[in-house]
Structure 1
Amino acid sequence: MMNQTLVTQFLILGFSETPGLQILLFPAFLLLYMVALSGNLLIVLLIGSSPALHTPMYFFLVNLATVDILCTSTILPKLLGSMVAGRTISFGGYMAQLFFFTWSLGAELLLFSAMALDRYVAICRPLHYGALMGPGVCVLLASAVWAVSLTNTTVNTVFTGRLPFCGSNVVEHFFCEIPPLLKLSCAPTRLNEAMAFTADVVLALGSFSVTMLSYGCIIASILRIRSAAGQRRAFSTCSSHLLVVSMYYSTVVYTYIRPASSYALDKDKVVSVVYTSVAPSLNPLIYSLRNTDVKAALRRVLSRSRGLCAPRGPATSPLEGGQQAPPRASLP
């Protein structure tokens, strides 16, 4: 037990002290947040209101959109506020943002694996798709995704929050993350680093392996398609998905799966923009809005909206003299 002045709030440095650069970054991050929020909310509303989209694939897309909303709403509003107001955050606020961000990060990694497995069964084992991916299985997979990621973030947040912080309170990042916080602790962090490293290896590398293996089988199945047009359509879809998945996993692995002593926070926070802001903005476009079924559902919703907004005619009969129209003959 030592007499220490404990840190009660942190100063988030953000990206730059230069006012001119802040003016450029604010609209960029505001645009990313609006695109991510509106795109993912649109996906949730479209799938929820369209019975034709109540299938396993779109069920997982709703979960992915929910995760992206959670991630961006945890990070970007505070970042935007810090650009125009104070950049300090309380210790409790830091832990809260850390908790929800880590939760969304783990859930997104696991959801990519669940979605890849769903596509593998649909393409490689179509005759067994209904039995293997029934409603109960989908709910069980989604529940496991949220529960495992919640357990991971609870353990890491609790052990990180118990560390003493009695020196510098300057966080060289633009949001609350484990690596920059460990560098500020005035106590050994080897246990925390080992726990975070183990969780990241299991979640990131394990999910990445499952995803790549599933897509490898999918591509092998596509190569057996005799139609060249069918192969092009399938490869177009898979290439878009693989681009997003590879971008997300590569940045997460680069940031987390290495010793804390090798962190270069000035460079790492630029890489973090990919999985906190760019990927949630691209996911609705890549996974959903390029899909013909989703576009058809969007057209139906827009047509219903126009029908509701169209002016209605008089309630009385249009015949002169108030005469009623003769009854129509009913079909047998």
Structure 2
Amino acid sequence: MERPNGTFPTFFILLPITNIAWLQKFLFVFVFFFYLLNIIGNLTILSLVIKDLNLHSPMYFLLASLSFVDMCISSSTVPKMMVGFWVQNYISLKGCFSQMFFFHVFGCTEGVIIAVMGFDRYIAICHALRYVNIMTKAACIQLVLGSWSVCLSITSMHVVMSSRLPFCNGYIVKHFFCDIKPVIKLACADTHVNEFIVAAVTGIFSTVAFVMLMLSYCFIMKHLVNIRSSEGRSKAFSTCSSHFIIVILYYGTAICIYLGPASENTIEKDRVAAMIFTVITPALNPLIYTLRNKDIRKSLRQLVSRSVAWSVRVRVQ
């Protein structure tokens, strides 16, 4: 299915996760369920944080930012992936690089916001008396906008470098979306510089964010050891446990996908890791916070109660 030498594609074909017909149908239902769970769960958190004045705090502002990014990162890849379960999945060159851009902007921003959330927990636990003065509304907005700005710059560099490559080694992307590594494999030019820059920049950036997270948690653990009250220690630990689970889910899959050369074997493994990264993890994040956070659960119960009361009044009228 490759084009003759010397011709350049005007589109790419994205491959499904599997070519087994019955498994494609099962995966469509599976992916659709998690995508629906993702949208409903994260929209619920956004609504709760916006409407409930008790959730107007830095912690929940960052959580709402994470929920928004989770919806965006899935929406940039999942709808197109679901199309591929039923028909041959064509995507134009502009569409491919647009998808690549948005996926990496949202993925990068999520990593930074998760690191910022770790810093927020460090300030809340280790410097509780100064928390209000440090994590002001202006500071939170600056941190989130800074996250977006840095990720926009890094992603733009990667996408521009990839889009300038000549593509004449076929038009079949061995992935369910346009990611950098499988796309540049189709280039008929030396891509070692591209691969090195992707690995180096992503590696350095991820390492810095991860080290910041680990330092935050090291200081938190040191502080917890000094807390004599078991109740106080338990309360402090509960505020971090949900976030730490998300850290493992995010950085575990991100490391699997982007650290390493773009070989045939790694791309196959990357497809599985990317499935977790784009479908499962964004859907689990709101569940993790909802089930383990008392304030979110309380606000959700109040929202449900108000909705039920409103529906009863409408029926009576």
Distance 2:108 2:233 in 1: 33
Residue in 2 aligned with 1:293? Answer: 295
The answer to whether the 8 A contact 1:26-1:83 is kept is yes
The answer to whether the 8 A contact 1:110-1:203 is kept is no
Residue in 1 aligned with 2:284? Answer: 282
**Structure 2 residue 177 is matched with structure 1 residue 175:** yes
Distance 1:29 1:220, change over 3 A: same
3-state SS in 1 of match to 2:117: helix
Distance 1:96 1:123 in 2: 41
Answer with 214-223 or 73-82: which moved more. 214-223
Q: What does residue range 226-237 of structure 1 map to in structure 2 within 5 Å?
A: 226-237=228-239
Give 2:79's aligned amino acid. P
Residue in 2 aligned with 1:62? Answer: 64
**Is the radius of gyration larger for structure 1 or structure 2?**
1
Distance 1:263 1:120 in 2: 40
2:99 to 97, 112, 136: 97
3-state SS in 2 of match to 1:173: coil
Shift of 1:241: 2.4
**Structure 2 residue 170 is matched with structure 1 residue 188:** no
CA RMSD of aligned residues (A): 2.0
**Structure 2 residue 24 is matched with structure 1 residue 33:** no
Shift of 1:281: 1.0
Distance 1:286 1:312, change over 3 A: closer
The answer to whether the 8 A contact 1:106-1:203 is kept is no
Residue in 1 aligned with 2:74? Answer: 72
Distance 2:230 2:132 in 1: 28
Distance 2:49 2:151 in 1: 24
**Structure 2 residue 127 is matched with structure 1 residue 125:** yes
Q: What does residue range 37-56 of structure 1 map to in structure 2 within 5 Å?
A: 37-56=39-58
Shift of 1:18: 1.1
Distance 1:132 1:238 in 2: 19
TM-score by length of 2: 0.93
Distance 2:264 2:222 in 1: 39
Distance 1:144 1:116 in 2: 16
3-state SS in 1 of match to 2:177: coil
> Alignment length, in residue pairs?
313
Shift of 1:239: 3.5
Deviation readout 1:265-315 (Å, 9 max, x if unpaired) = 222211112211121111112234421111111122222222322237999
Residue in 1 aligned with 2:227? Answer: 225
The answer to whether the 8 A contact 1:9-1:89 is kept is yes
Shift of 1:232: 3.6
Distance 2:315 2:272 in 1: 58
Distance 1:116 1:55 in 2: 15
Shift of 1:185: 0.5
Aligned sequence identity (%): 38
**Structure 2 residue 20 is matched with structure 1 residue 18:** yes
Residue in 1 aligned with 2:245? Answer: 243
The answer to whether the 8 A contact 2:242-2:292 is kept is no
3-state SS in 2 of match to 1:29: helix
Give 1:301's aligned amino acid. L
The answer to whether the 8 A contact 2:38-2:283 is kept is yes
The answer to whether the 8 A contact 1:248-1:279 is kept is yes
3-state SS in 1 of match to 2:176: coil
The answer to whether the 8 A contact 1:109-1:203 is kept is no
The answer to whether the 8 A contact 1:225-1:231 is kept is yes
The answer to whether the 8 A contact 2:15-2:84 is kept is no
Shift of 1:160: 0.7
Shift of 1:194: 2.5
3-state SS in 2 of match to 1:83: coil
Shift of 1:98: 0.5
The answer to whether the 8 A contact 1:124-1:218 is kept is yes
Q: What does residue range 313-332 of structure 1 map to in structure 2 within 5 Å?
A: none
Distance 1:84 1:27 in 2: 12
Distance 1:136 1:153 in 2: 26
